Amino acid sequence: MAVLVTGGAGFIGSNLVRFLAASGNDVRVLDDLSTGSTDNLAELGASVATITGDVRDVDTVREAVAGAEVVYHLAALPSVARSLLDPVTTHRVNADGTLNVLEAARVAGVRRVVYASSSSVYGDTPVLPKDESMPPSPRSPYAASKLAGEAYCRAYATAYGLQTVSLRFFNVFGPRQDPASEYAAVVPRFITRMLAGEQPEIFGDGQQSRDFTFVGNAVQACALAGTAPQASGEHVNVGCGDRISLLDLVEAINGLLGTNIQPDFLPPRRGDVRHSQADISKARDLLGYRPEVAVTEGLARTVAWFSRREAVVGLAG
C-alpha cells in the first residue's frame, strides 16, 4: 500500500515510518526538517522516498500526496510554550497545514487521512479520565490549533466523504525523542539531564500528572486507525489509561539509573494542565487498540537508548 507520512522525520513519525516500511508498505515522507532529522530515517536508506518541504506550501503538499492511499498527517509545530510566544506560526503550520493536507488528499482521491491531534484539546478540566464525549477546552494556541485540525478532519469526512481519524495523543515518549530544544518534552529532558548528573527541572510542585505513552503504542494506534472500518470521522484518545506525577517520574528514572538526583523546582508555566489521563475504551472498541508497552517498561527502554547514545557520544568525543 502506498502511504505518506507528513512529519515522517520527526519523533513519532520516524517510528511510524520504520513500522510501515517493515510491514511492506510503499512509504513516502514529507518533512521540512524544522524539528525532525534525516538521521531518524538513515537506516532505511533509499527504501523510503523523502520530500523536504513545508505543509504550508500547497504545491509541495499536492506533490507528496499524489498516489497515496493513506496519509498519516503528523507534521506539526509542537509545544504549548512555543505557541504562547508565536501563536500565528503555530496556527499556520498546524491548522492551515492540516487544511492543505486534507484538500490535497480530497483532490487526489486518498482513501483515508489519519491526523495526529493532542490531549491538550481537553484543557484543564478536573474530570479524570478524559473521554471523547467531554467538551474541549483548549488553554493554549497549540491546543486550539490541534482542535481546529480535528474540526477540519470531521468536516471533510462529512462534506466530502474523505475518511479521517483524529488521534488525541497523550504525552508520547521514547527513543529518538529530541531532548535538546528548549521546548523539549519532559521525559527526554529529564533523562538526559540526569544521565549527566544534573537536576531535572520541574515547573511547579511536581504533583502534576500525565498519561505517559510509549511511542510503540502510538505507532500501533496509527496503524490501526489507517484501516479501522468504523473509525472515520471520529476523534480517539491514545494513551495508556493511567497516570504518574512528575515527582514519580523522577523517582522512576533515578531507580533505573541507580542515582538519587532531586529536581530543581521552577515557577509554573502558563498554559500547562494539572492532570491528564486518557479513557481508552473508544480506541479499544473502534480501533482494537490495546497499549502493549506500560510506562515502566517504556521508561526502561528509553533510558537504555539514551544511555547507549550518551556512551557513543562520549567515545566519539
Whether domain 2-175+214-241+273-293 has CATH 3.40.50.720: the reply is: yes
Q: What is the pLDDT of residues 168-178, one digit of tens each?
A: 999 999 998 98
Spatial separation of the C-alpha atoms in residues 248 and 241, rounded to whole Å = 17
Torsion of CA 59, 60, 62, 63, to 10 degrees: 120
From the list 233, 227, 287, the residue with the least C-alpha distance to 69 is 227
- One-letter amino acid identity for 280? I
Spatial separation of the C-alpha atoms in residues 76 and 117, rounded to whole Å = 9
What was the pLDDT predicted at 184? 67
What was the pLDDT predicted at 310? 76
Pairing status of strand 26-31 against strand 49-52:
parallel
Contact by Cβ (8 Å): 198, 262:
no
Spatial separation of the C-alpha atoms in residues 317 and 313, rounded to whole Å = 6
What was the pLDDT predicted at 185? 87
What was the pLDDT predicted at 317? 47
Spatial separation of the C-alpha atoms in residues 104 and 202, rounded to whole Å = 42
pTM of the model: 0.94
Per-residue confidence of the chain (317 residues) as pLDDT tens digits?
999 999 999 999 999 999 999 999 999 999 999 999 999 999 998 889 999 999 999 999 999 999 999 999 999 999 888 999 999 999 999 999 999 999 999 999 999 999 999 999 999 888 999 999 999 999 999 999 999 999 999 999 999 999 999 999 999 999 989 887 665 689 999 999 999 999 999 999 999 999 999 999 999 999 999 999 999 999 999 999 999 999 999 999 999 999 999 999 999 988 788 999 999 999 999 999 999 999 999 999 999 999 998 765 554 44
For every residue of 135-199, which 3-state class applies, written as one string? CCCCCCHHHHHHHHHHHHHHHHHHHHCCEEEEEEECCEECCCCCCCCCCCCHHHHHHHHHHCCCC
Per domain, the residue ranges of the chain are 2-175+214-241+273-293
Q: C-alpha cell of 37?
A: 532529522
Compute the radius of gyration of the chain from its Cα atoms: 19
What was the pLDDT predicted at 311? 67
